[in-house]
A = this chain, B = another copy of it.
Amino acid sequence: MSLTALEIRHMETLLALAECGSLSKAASRLFLTQSALSHQLKALEIHFGASLIEKNVRPLRFTAIGQRLLTLARTVLPQMAEAGRDVARLAQGHAGPLRIAVQCHNCFDWLMPAMDAYRTLWPEVELDIISGFLMNPLPLLDQGEAELAIIHDRQEPPPSIVFSPLFRYESVALMSPRHRLAAKPWLEAADFGAETLITYPVPDEMLDVMKHCLTPAKINPKRRTAELTVAILQLVASGRGIAALPSWTVGNYLERGYVVSRPIGQHGLRCELYAATTRAGAEAAYIREFIALTRIQSLTEFAGVSAL
C-alpha cells in the first residue's frame, strides 16, 4: 500500500493511457498487448483498493486516485529521463553528430518539429539532414556517413543494421471537391489511369502510391511534379490533377474545404516508417532517444498516425 508496488512501468502506462484514451491504443504505443495493461491496472486497483480509471466511457476518464498517480508520473518520468541523459553524457564522452538520411519529402513534416524538440534536450549533438534522396540509404550507415536513416516499409535489415519502428500512417488521395472522383467513397488503382498525378520530383519507388498501388497494377498516369507540399496542394485545389499524400500533412487544407481526401483502396493505403541505425548507434543513448522522441511526438501530434 505504500511506496513500492507502483513501478515505473505503471507510470508509463498511465501516461500512455492519458494520451491514447483506451487500453488497446496505449498498449500498442508501449509495445505491449491490451491484455498486459488490463492485468496491470487490475493489479494496481487491487493494491490500492480503488479503481484508477473509468473504462465504460470513451475516451476513458481518470478517477481522483488515477489523476494523482498521473501527475506523479508527469513529474517523475521527466526527472528520470533527464537523469538518464545526464548519465549518458557522463558515461559516453560527449555524444557525436547525428546525421539523418531521409528518403522522402514528407518526412520533413514530422522530422522538423522532432528535431526542434530534440535540440533542447541534447544541445551538444550536431543535427544534420542528408537529403540526397537516395534509393537505399543503408550503405551510408555502414560507411559512417550517417547515423540514422529513415526507411519505408518493413524489410529484412542487413546484419550490421538495426531497425526500430517509428509509426504507421495512411496515404490518401487528394482532389478538388468538384472533381468527378470525389463522388466515390474510395479510389482504386484504375481510377488513377485517366488522371494527372501530382507528385514530388522523385523516382516512382519513393512514392507510396506508385510503389504500393499503381506500379503493381501496371497503371502509369500522366505526371506533374512540384517540390513543395503547398504547391502540390495548390495544383490539386485548382483541379489540375490528383495527388496522394500522408493524411496528416494536409489537415489544414481539408478543414478549409479546398481539397477532399479519399482512401486509396477499400481499406486505405497504409505505410510504415522505420529508423535504421548501426548496431553501435542503437546502443548510444543520444540516438535511441532521438528515435523514441520522434516516435512519440509524431504519434501524439498527428491524427491518422498509429503505432506499430
- Whether A156 is near chain B, meaning CB under 8 Å from some CB there, is no
In the complex, which of the residues B7, B65, B72 contacts A79, with contact meaning CB atoms closer than 8 Å? B72
Q: How many copies does the complex hold?
A: 2
B81 and A69 contacting across the interface, CB-CB below 8 Å = no
Of A88-96, A209-217, A300-308, the stretch lying at the interface with chain B is: A88-96
Report B-chain residues with C-beta under 8 Å of the C-beta of A76: 76, 79-80
B65 and A87 contacting across the interface, CB-CB below 8 Å = yes
- Whether A117 is near chain B, meaning CB under 8 Å from some CB there, is no
A88 and B3 contacting across the interface, CB-CB below 8 Å = no
Distance between A77 CB and nearest chain B CB, rounded to angstroms: 7
In the complex, which of the residues B7, B12, B68 contacts A90, with contact meaning CB atoms closer than 8 Å? B68
Distance between A138 CB and nearest chain B CB, rounded to angstroms: 23
**How many chain A residues touch the partner (CB < 8 A)?**
38
Q: Is the interface of A mostly helix, strand, loop or mixed?
A: helix
Of all A-B residue pairs in the complex, the 3 with the closest CB atoms, nearest first, are A1-B285, A72-B83, A50-B91
Sample of 8 more A-B contacts, CB < 8 Å, known A3-B80, A7-B7: A1-B84, A2-B288, A2-B289, A6-B83, A6-B84, A7-B8, A64-B90, A69-B83
Chain A residues numbered 272-302 whose CB sits less than 8 Å from any CB in chain B: 283-285, 288-289, 292
Closest to A49 in B: B91
B81 and A68 contacting across the interface, CB-CB below 8 Å = no
- Whether A266 is near chain B, meaning CB under 8 Å from some CB there, is no
Report B-chain residues with C-beta under 8 Å of the C-beta of A87: 48, 50, 65, 68-69
Report B-chain residues with C-beta under 8 Å of the C-beta of A289: 2
- Whether A75 is near chain B, meaning CB under 8 Å from some CB there, is yes
- Whether A153 is near chain B, meaning CB under 8 Å from some CB there, is no
Q: List 18 A-B contacts (CB under 8 A).
A: A1-B284, A1-B285, A2-B288, A2-B289, A3-B80, A3-B84, A6-B83, A7-B8, A48-B87, A48-B88, A48-B91, A49-B92, A65-B91, A68-B87, A68-B90, A72-B79, A72-B83, A76-B79
Report B-chain residues with C-beta under 8 Å of the C-beta of A72: 79-80, 83
Chain A residues numbered 58-105 whose CB sits less than 8 Å from any CB in chain B: 64-65, 68-69, 71-72, 75-77, 79-81, 83-84, 86-88, 90-92
